[in-house]
Structure 1
Amino acid sequence: MNPFDERTQAIVNQTAQVMEGLGITSYLVGGSVRDAMLGKTTRDVDIVVCGSANRVGDTLAESLDGHKIRIDFERDAARVIAASQDHAVVIDLLSLAGAGILPDLRRRDFTINAIATPLESAVLGTWNLIDPLGGAQDMDSKTIRAVSGKVFTEDPVRLLRAVRLSAETGFAIEPETESLIRGFAPRLTDSSPERIRSELLRILAARGAAKWVRLMDSLGLLSIVIPELDLARDVSQPREHYYDVFGHLVAALDYADQIVSNRYERDFVREMMPTFDRMDAYFGQGAADGHTRGTFLKLTALLHDIAKPQTKTVEPSGRVRFFGHSEMGEEIAGEVLARLRVGRRGIGMVRSMVRHHLRPRQMGNKGELPTNRAIHRYYRDLGDVALDTLYLNMADFLAARGPLITPAEMRNQVRVINHILTVGPQNQTVVASRKGLLTGHDIMSELQIEPGPLIGRLLKSVAEAEARGRIRNREEALKLARANIETGAVGG
């Protein structure tokens, strides 16, 4: 039943010693106990203490050689992070609510989180459970049940947490709790944007993210978190599209999730999907706000066509157009994420992907592969999200056709993406390292040019020529730069 690895268990044992030295009664609660009962491993430790959580946190942080953060002034909550080079354990401390552990558990959110065990019991491995609300029974039946009708008014972010718990555990929200969520959904706006963002990103991080977004929608929560999506409902698209705009966005999220998890519903999509070396590790990289590239790809898929309702036009012939939806979508997506207090890097990644999500299919003439020069410019312009955007483009393409997609259509799309991947890595290396055949200093010293914008334009032209294979060494690069100056090819 122990959810802790060896390093985490050692920190839990040391924490128990600190509590004993302080004469503090403490209990392991919430997610730690739930994960133990589910047989999951965790490095997040939730403890309630009979005393001031922040004062206990100061002592504990000193003992663990970690650091303490005060995370809730009203409830006297603290977080202690004990980190080694490759292992961080997070201990959340909360002062006991009420006269003892039983009143505290009755004030929690869901019955599966209202189970506790004395900290010393967890250290000894006996795990004597305190379960006044039948949480263990709900665990057995895989049910998420609100402790009472007051839980959502006391802390409205619990409305979204119910969906997140369902996503992370696979448990079903029972009907009475669903009814409560629908009724209290407008209260979610009383929660801080940071807490809403945290729950949303964890929902998107879960496998099968589109299912959980649909659950959010059915409970009236999606319209509260991202009201801009409501405009996309019932907005028809050209006949090539299977879904309306809203349905397309959710379908794109679904395909992005399949790409990130490498679990595909259709065999030919799995067999034909373009891949690159260590792709799983790439999408598992940290991106922003404690979440991965994969999660931010899924978030972007949900938002990539968010400006289509505002840009829709219908020509006299009946042809539907969405001119400028990528550019406007970049702005709207940025506003959504800024409102949710997403970090600067995350916003930048999403904005860039939304703006350029159509670009991979527009880099070459119809029926032709993009040139090396076009691919070089693509990697240069998109930089850190060049690969991510290729797979956003794949998700967009698959969602457009939906269940009507055929292997022949897939083959044409894959041909382009595979070509960009094949040609691209060498260009990406050149751009990422910013090292080519020449440096700005080379150009200034060899060609006797003063510092200024011309240097950058010359370096850009040399890098593109190198990517296309027109030049191979420093001498040829200098010759090209000199010729560009003499002919005015890059401006004066």
Structure 2
Amino acid sequence: MCALSMSSNSRIEQSHQQLFQMLGPLLIQSDKAYLVGGLVRDSLLGCIPRDLDIAVSGDASAVARSITKVLGGNLVVMDEARNYFRVVLREESRLDTIRTIDVSALYGDIFQDLARRDFTIDAMAVPLHNYLSGNWRESIIDPCNGLRDLELGLIRATGTEVFLEDSLRALRAVRLVAQLGFAIEEDTRDSIQRHAGAIQDISSERLRDELLAILAAPGASSSLYLMDELGLLLMVIPELDQGRGVTQPKEHYWDVFRHNIETVAAVEGLLERNLTPAWILDEVPWDDYLKKHFQEISSDGHSRATLCKLTGLLHDIAKPATKTVEPSGKIRFLGHNRIGADMASAILQRLRLSGKGVEMVQLMVDLHMRPGQMSQNVEIPTPRAIYRYFRRAENVAIDTIFLNLADYVAARGPYLQHAEWVAYAGMVRHILEVGLFQDEAVTQSRILDGHTLIKHLSLSSGPLVGRLLNIVKEAQAAGEIGTEEEAINLARKQMKTFHKEGVHA
């Protein structure tokens, strides 16, 4: 977490000197320009700022266009009526850590403008020329006592109308709690609860962005519980409420509602390597390859890790609808993975997640039990079964394996025993290691291609060739063949089987 410091933080200031020197000439169109919001807050806390917020007098759109032209990026109209624009810098255009530059027109003078902002810790400003001079801490404009709340570690609304003006600010308060480790001031908390229902009127895109930002921040499960306490979680994903109080088989510690959230915690603990007890992590493979895999940006500007946490939240969304209790008392949730995949897809389409993101989550939900079902009693799955899983799971095979491990940890909760975990995690680790080896072996050492197959078996191009090549790849992955001759013989033998079944080239 960051800590308040009024002393100079030269590392942060120097890292942005080039950016601000470039911005200076672009702001001559404005009589006054101020750095406001997160940059001032983060600089005071010693955090590395990611976004820049500038308030200017005059035409903010002209300033934003100039910044876009000079620095390179995309201009987004955030609120034309309020003269509010965002410059999203292209990766190659970014200077140090800054990703976006928000430009807005001053509402009245700087004091009136800051009074309209959401939280006191973001209602501070510094004239741009003072920031460049190096003595900016002496020039902080702080009409809402943001410095006081930084010292107290509080998220406090600037006024009583904050959440009426923009109800999304309630979710932003939760995100700030996660990012800064602060607490929400009591009156602010009460106000959020009173106006929680209003976030249903917020655009799906804005809800999506805040939800993903909350999941991306540390302690995502704690944030979800806080959202629930404030009445916000079910305003975003009302389907989750159906799991509250829904009991599960005796192996499960939590009801369905809490299990979904605890799975988010387990995903994060596995990927951040901070899950306790420590012996859980001893059985889970981790290296630079896996670390980079989960850092990869996958959807809506967020990483695979964030998407995996989102999937953890939704993976058992259909359990309430599929629950049955047999006369013996046995509880079943038949088909909850398949139905849940469709439900998750509908929820995420409603939130305007990208098509790629929806497909990834949908597939993970559908397959989240599969790694544990590939063998009986934690026996080692066959190479063929592992190959088929990786082929079916496509680009979320690794992600789904980690989701499955997290699901197991969250299901047992405090009931989890060391010996059972060693056995289960060992089996799943085998799936991961063999699957990655097979993928590398088949990709780098292809022993038969379509042209050669067509030539030797006198085939025509078409779906049959693809089927035969898949059979060859599976046999190669299973270690049953290793040469072109063996591959051709296998394909020829399979053709005889196809002919008996009435399949022709």
Same fold (TM over 0.5): yes
Aligned to 1:149: 160
Matched, 1:74 2:81: yes
Structure-2 separation of matches of 1:148 and 1:66: 35
What pairs up with 1:217-236 in 2 under 5 angstroms?
217-236=228-247
- Is 438-447 or 407-416 further displaced after alignment? 438-447
Select the residue among 381, 385, 389 that pairs with 1:378.
389
Aligned to 1:397: 408
Matched, 1:332 2:343: yes
Provide the aligned length of Structure 1 versus Structure 2.
489
Matched, 1:461 2:471: yes
Aligned to 2:315: 304
1:17 maps to a residue whose letter is P
Compared CA separation, residues 129 and 46, structure 1 to 2 (3 A): same
> Which blocks of at least 5 consecutive residues in structure 1 are unaligned?
none
Compared CA separation, residues 4 and 43, structure 1 to 2 (3 A): farther
Matched, 1:40 2:47: yes
Aligned to 2:6: none
Compared CA separation, residues 372 and 152, structure 1 to 2 (3 A): same
1:281 maps to a residue whose letter is K
Aligned to 1:314: 325
Structure-1 separation of matches of 2:415 and 2:116: 50
Select the residue among 212, 222, 228 that pairs with 2:223.
212
Kept in 1, the 8 Å contact 2:73–2:93? The answer is no
Q: CA RMSD in A?
A: 1.8
> Partner of 2:430: helix, strand, or coil?
helix
Q: TM-score, normalised by structure 1?
A: 0.96
Kept in 2, the 8 Å contact 1:161–1:199? The answer is yes
- Is 335-344 or 63-72 further displaced after alignment? 63-72
Kept in 2, the 8 Å contact 1:48–1:93? The answer is yes
What pairs up with 1:77-476 in 2 under 5 angstroms?
77-83=84-90, 85=92, 87=94, 89=98, 90-97=100-107, 99-127=108-136, 128-429=139-440, 433=443, 436-476=446-486
| CA-to-aligned-CA distance 1:104-142 (integer Å, 9 cap, x gap) | 000000000100000111111221100001000000000
- Is 221-230 or 74-83 further displaced after alignment? 74-83
Structure-2 separation of matches of 1:364 and 1:439: 32
> Partner of 2:104: helix, strand, or coil?
strand
Structure-1 separation of matches of 2:127 and 2:329: 69
Shift of 1:2: 5.7
> Which blocks of at least 5 consecutive residues in structure 2 are unaligned?
1-8
Kept in 1, the 8 Å contact 2:378–2:424? The answer is no
Q: TM-score, normalised by structure 2?
A: 0.93
Structure-2 separation of matches of 1:480 and 1:370: 23
Compared CA separation, residues 8 and 459, structure 1 to 2 (3 A): farther
Q: Which segments of structure 1 move beyond 4 Å, counting only runs of 4 or more?
A: 2-7
1:36 maps to a residue whose letter is S
Kept in 2, the 8 Å contact 1:8–1:43? The answer is no
Matched, 1:49 2:56: yes
| CA-to-aligned-CA distance 1:184-208 (integer Å, 9 cap, x gap) | 0000011111111111111111111
Compared CA separation, residues 114 and 256, structure 1 to 2 (3 A): same
Kept in 2, the 8 Å contact 1:443–1:455? The answer is yes
Structure-1 separation of matches of 2:242 and 2:201: 23
Determine what percentage of the aligned residue pairs are the same residue. 43
Aligned to 1:9: 17
Structure-1 separation of matches of 2:73 and 2:432: 43
Shift of 1:3: 7.4
